[in-house]
């Protein structure tokens, strides 16, 4: 085993003093940087009042929105009148025109609403008994309001003349003089395939398949298969046809915007590259043009073109085209400035024209890189097209924003988000595969 003598170590230290004995400020630099980062975070915490914002945030809304993404509620109104007790449902109920759910039990004027195991609401004229997990609350309904008997449990709340009973995920009930409004919640998306007006509604998969394959025609003018597809495509609750059409608009917006941007940025990049175009004035004008296009965010371009062309995909295509022309032009020109000049000089040495020098000496080097970058932007623009669609540029982004604004169709929002994620995953996979092949060919 070889050992280093003290003299050799001293010789190393004398030859490399900056390594073995760095100045104090260099030794303290990591600590100073860490302290600066901590101070900056504390400053931001104070300046933006992050603590106050977090304390005042309505975090329960996140739970409500997440619940509404994966479930639906059926509203039921139970009225107590001298003539008797009536049960009614909204006009466009998820249960159809003649609802008779098994979780509403009628026995004369008594009505029992079941909210699952050990959870129920018993309504009998002048009193309501709410039961949850063995704990019961009796509410008397009088002319001057509702009167809970005894202390309110944690799952009940009294506000003015109304008692709200919470049954957890299963739903809730608002007990008001003369009526009880029940919101019964179920997991899943109601009537996702067929709406209540469809002849296939509320039928099992085997029944629908039997009707399509061998059943007698429901409508003489079309086959049952065509009728089933028509009912799915024009589902009034989920609007599959409109959603998928808007999704295709978003995909076309991303593709056309990226394609046009690549086509324009490609020749302009040769003008902006210093080693290709010796004219400094042309270089600078083109580069500043690229800076102008990419300095304005795509969302701002979308707002501008929405005002110019009106709402629709054309505004989205123009916004993507303008932004990506600037970004791709800059990236392409920098790629050209870093090419291997030996290949270009070799083509030039055989007497090729300037155009052929670029064609055979430059383009083969940069084309795989250009295509790879264009594919990446195409994948990224599929996401961006959804965002700019929300400001009026068309596509599924606008429909998503309309569903969110109502604050009630969160299951429709979830449906569109799932579709967007699926498209992005597919495009990401395709883009990565194509880019890997292109860059692999370039390396070989």
- Average pLDDT, integer, range 131-147: 86
Please tell me the distance from the alpha carbon of residue 266 to that of residue 382, in angstroms, as a whole number.
21
Q: What is the mean pLDDT of residues 45-51?
A: 88
Question: Residue 362 half-sphere exposure, CB side, CA atoms within 13 Å?
Answer: 22
Distance, in Å, from the CA atom of 183 to the CA atom of 171, rounded to the nearest integer, reads: 5
Section 286-302 average pLDDT:
91
Q: Please determine, for residue 130, whether its predicted confidence score (pLDDT) is greater than 90.
A: yes
Mean pLDDT of 25-32: 82
Instruction: List b or e across 377-392, with b for residues whose CB sees 16 or more CB atoms inside 10 angstroms.
Output: bbbbbbbbbbbbbbbb
Which phi-psi region, left, alpha or beta, contains residue 432 (left: φ > 0; alpha: ψ -120 to 50)? Answer: alpha
CB 296 within 8 A of CB 323: yes
Q: What is the pLDDT of residue 129?
A: 92
**DSSP one-letter code for 201:** T
> 368 pLDDT exceeds 80?
yes
- As a whole number of angstroms, the distance between CA 425 and CA 444 comes to 29
Residue 8 pLDDT > 80: no
pLDDT at 354: 72
Task: Please tell me which residue, 340 or 97, carries the higher pLDDT value.
Answer: 97
**Alpha-carbon gap, residue 113 to 103, rounded angstroms:** 6
Angle at the Cα of 267 from the Cα atoms of 288 and 279, rounded to 5 degrees:
55
Instruction: Average the pLDDT over each of 13-22, 79-88, 176-185, 300-309 and give the range with the smallest value.
Output: 13-22
Q: What is the Cα–Cα distance from 18 to 45, expressed in whole angstroms? A: 38
Cβ neighbours of residue 62 closer than 8 Å, sequence gap 6 or more: none
Closest listed residue to residue 104, CA positions, set 173, 153, 156: 173
Task: Give Cβ neighbours of residue 183 (< 8 Å, ≥ 6 apart).
Answer: 73, 74, 75, 76, 171, 172, 173
Per-residue pLDDT at 444: 46
- Chain segment 217-242, per-residue pLDDT in tens: 888 888 999 999 999 999 988 999 99
Give the C-alpha separation, 376 to 428, whole Å.
8
The reply to whether the predicted model has a pTM over 0.85 is no
Q: Are the C-beta atoms of 378 and 427 separated by less than 8 Å?
A: yes
Question: What average pLDDT does the chain have?
Answer: 86
How would you classify the pairing of strands 104-107 and 84-88? Answer: unpaired
């Amino acid at each position: 085993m070889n050992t280093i003598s003290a003299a050799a170590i001293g010789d190393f230290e004398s030859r490399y003093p900056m390594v073995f004995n760095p100045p104090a400020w260099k030794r303290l630099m990591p600590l100073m940087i860490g302290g600066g980062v901590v101070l900056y975070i504390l400053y931001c915490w104070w300046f933006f009042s992050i603590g106050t914002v977090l304390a005042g945030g309505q975090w329960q809304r996140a739970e409500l929105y997440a619940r509404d993404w994966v479930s639906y509620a059926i509203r039921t109104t139970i009225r107590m009148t001298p003539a008797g007790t009536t049960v009614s449902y909204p006009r466009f109920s998820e249960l159809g025109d003649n609802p008779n759910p098994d979780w509403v039990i009628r026995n004369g004027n008594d009505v029992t609403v079941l909210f699952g195991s050990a959870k129920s609401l018993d309504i009998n004229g002048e009193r309501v008994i709410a039961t949850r997990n063995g704990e019961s609350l009796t509410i008397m309904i009088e002319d001057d309001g509702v009167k809970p008997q005894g202390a309110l449990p944690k799952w009940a709340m009294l506000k003015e003349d109304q008692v709200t009973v919470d049954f957890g995920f299963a739903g809730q009930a608002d007990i008001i003089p003369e009526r009880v409004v029940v919101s019964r919640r179920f997991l899943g998306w109601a009537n996702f395939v067929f709406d209540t007006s469809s002849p296939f509604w509320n039928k099992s998969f085997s029944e629908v398949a039997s009707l399509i394959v061998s059943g007698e025609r429901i409508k003489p003018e079309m086959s049952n298969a065509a009728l089933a597809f028509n009912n799915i495509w024009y589902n009034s609750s989920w609007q599959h046809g409109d959603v998928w059409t808007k999704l295709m608009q978003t995909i076309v917006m991303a593709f056309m915007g990226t394609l046009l941007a690549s086509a324009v940025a490609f020749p302009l990049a040769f003008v902006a590259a210093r080693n290709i175009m010796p004219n400094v004035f042309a270089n600078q004008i083109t580069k500043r043009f690229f800076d102008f296009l990419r300095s304005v965010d795509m969302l701002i371009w979308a707002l501008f073109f929405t005002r110019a062309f009106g709402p629709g995909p054309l505004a989205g295509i123009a916004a993507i085209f303008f932004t990506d022309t600037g970004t791709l032009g800059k990236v392409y020109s920098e790629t050209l400035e870093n090419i291997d000049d030996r290949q270009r000089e070799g083509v030039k040495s055989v007497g090729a024209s300037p155009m052929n020098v670029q064609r055979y000496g430059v383009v083969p080097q940069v084309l795989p890189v250009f295509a790879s970058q264009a594919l990446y932007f195409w994948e990224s623009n599929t996401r961006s097209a959804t965002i700019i669609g929300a400001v009026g540029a068309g596509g599924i982004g606008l429909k998503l924003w309309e569903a969110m604004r109502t604050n009630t169709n969160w299951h429709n929002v979830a449906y569109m988000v799932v579709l967007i994620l699926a498209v992005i995953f597919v495009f990401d996979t395709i883009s990565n595969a194509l880019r890997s092949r292109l860059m692999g060919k370039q390396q070989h």
